[in-house]
């Protein structure tokens, strides 16, 4: 049995105690294309079954897929990261709506854990990214380009880490700001996020956020590139060569 744990649009993430963040998840999706989104869960539930549910009301939503199943939606669990991903194929505009990332806690009479997000499926998304997967090496830099339509030109631009919802804001300062993360908005149709001095711990899922819409991006930081030493040769002495 499932139970309403949170208000619509507000993410509840439990990690050593209840912690409520106010970042609303409204993921922009391009119709007819494939895509992937992450869902976080409490690490104590890494062995529990994960599933995706459709519907605005938690107590009556319709289960679409369980982890390990394939179909229009498929779920892959990453217990070491306390994240499972939901991949879909060819969503249509009519697929727009509320979905629930959920973890099966127990049998009948035991409430499950879950939180909702909204998928906005559009032929041309108001918010999108150049690439949903980016790679870098420890110590190097990486940039991500986020696009928006004219209607979102004056909306707030942010780069948010999905798991803890810490956000970096364009042209603003505050406790969330970090000199290693810079956001530059061209004022027309895109903004660029530059992350410098990458660390292995920077790996994870992020959100390009513009106004009330987000586009997910997975960052993978690898070990530093091996240093290649070019051997040097000493010119031979003509006298010793005789």
**Residue pLDDT, tens place only, 38-87:** 999 999 999 999 999 999 999 899 999 999 888 889 999 999 999 999 99
Structural tokens at position 43 = 């690490």
Residues 117 and 142 in one domain: no
Between 235 and 117, where is the model more confident? 117
Q: What percent of the chain is modeled with pLDDT above 90?
A: 66
Give the model's pLDDT for residue 165: 80
Q: Greater confidence, 2 or 96? A: 96
Q: Which domain holds residue 207?
A: 127-222
Mean pLDDT in the chain? 83
Contact (CB, 8 A) for 10 and 58: no
Q: How many Å apart are CA 240 and CA 221, to the nearest integer?
A: 51
Q: Is the pLDDT of residue 98 over 90?
A: yes
User: Are residue 91 and residue 55 in the same domain, yes or no?
Assistant: yes
List 30's β-bridge partners, or say none: 122
HSE, side-chain direction, 13 A CA sphere, residue 74: 11
Residue that has been written with the tokens 């139970």 in this structure = 3
In a domain, residue 215? The reply is yes
233 in a domain, yes or no? no
For residue 238, is it left (φ>0), alpha (ψ between -120 and 50) or beta? alpha
What digits encode the pLDDT tens for the residues 12-23?
Answer: 332 222 223 345
Task: Specify the DSSP class assigned to residue 67.
Answer: B
CATH number reported for the structural domain that contains residue 182 in this entry: 2.60.40.10
pTM of the model: 0.79
pLDDT at 233: 62
Lookup: tokens for 92: 């249509």
Number of structural domains, the chain?
2
> Each residue of 197-229: b (16+ CB within 10 Å) or e?
ebeeebbbbbbbbbbbbbbbbbbebeeeeeeee
pLDDT higher than threshold 80 for residue 178: no
- Mean pLDDT on 146-160: 95
Does residue 27 carry a pLDDT above 90?
yes
At CA 63, angle to CA 14 and CA 47, rounded to 5?
Answer: 45
- Identify whether 2 is part of a domain: no
pLDDT of residue 71: 86
Q: What is the mean pLDDT of residues 2-26?
A: 39
Position 176 scores a pLDDT of: 43
What SS3 state is found at 81?
A: helix
DSSP 84-121: EEEEES---GGG-EEEEEEE--SSTTS--EEEEEEEEE
Task: Answer yes or no: is 33 within a domain.
Answer: yes
Q: If 0-12 CB within 10 Å is exposed, 13-18 middle and 19+ buried, where does residue 170 land?
A: middle
Give per-residue pLDDT as tens, 186-225. Answer: 999 999 999 999 999 999 999 999 999 999 999 999 998 7
The DSSP 8-state label assigned to residue 33 in this structure reads: S
Boundary-marking domain end, from 122, 144, 178: 122
Q: What is the pLDDT of residue 19?
A: 29
Domain-embedded: residue 116: yes
């Amino acid at each position: 049995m499932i139970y309403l744990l949170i208000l619509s649009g507000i993410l509840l993430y439990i990690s050593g105690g209840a912690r409520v963040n106010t970042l609303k998840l409204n993921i922009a999706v391009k119709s007819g294309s494939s895509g992937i989104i992450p869902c976080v869960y409490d690490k104590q539930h890494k062995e529990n079954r994960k599933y995706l549910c459709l519907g605005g009301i938690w107590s009556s939503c319709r289960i679409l897929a369980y982890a390990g199943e394939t179909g229009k939606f498929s779920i892959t669990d990453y217990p070491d990261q306390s994240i499972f991903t939901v991949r879909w194929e060819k969503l249509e505009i009519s697929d727009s709506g509320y979905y629930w990332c959920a973890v099966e806690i127990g049998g009948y009479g035991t409430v499950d854990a879950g939180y909702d997000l909204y998928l906005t499926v559009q032929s041309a998304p108001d918010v999108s990214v150049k690439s949903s997967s980016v790679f870098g090496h420890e110590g190097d830099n990486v940039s991500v380009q986020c696009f928006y339509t004219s209607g979102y030109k004056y909306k707030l631009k942010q780069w948010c880490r999905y798991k803890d919802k810490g956000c970096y804001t364009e042209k603003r300062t505050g406790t969330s700001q970090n000199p290693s993360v810079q956001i530059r908005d061209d004022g027309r149709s895109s903004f660029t996020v530059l992350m410098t001095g990458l660390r292995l711990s920077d790996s994870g899922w992020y959100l390009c956020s513009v106004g009330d819409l987000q586009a997910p991006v997975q960052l993978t930081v690898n070990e530093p590139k091996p240093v290649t030493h070019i051997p040097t040769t000493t010119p031979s002495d003509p006298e010793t060569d005789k």
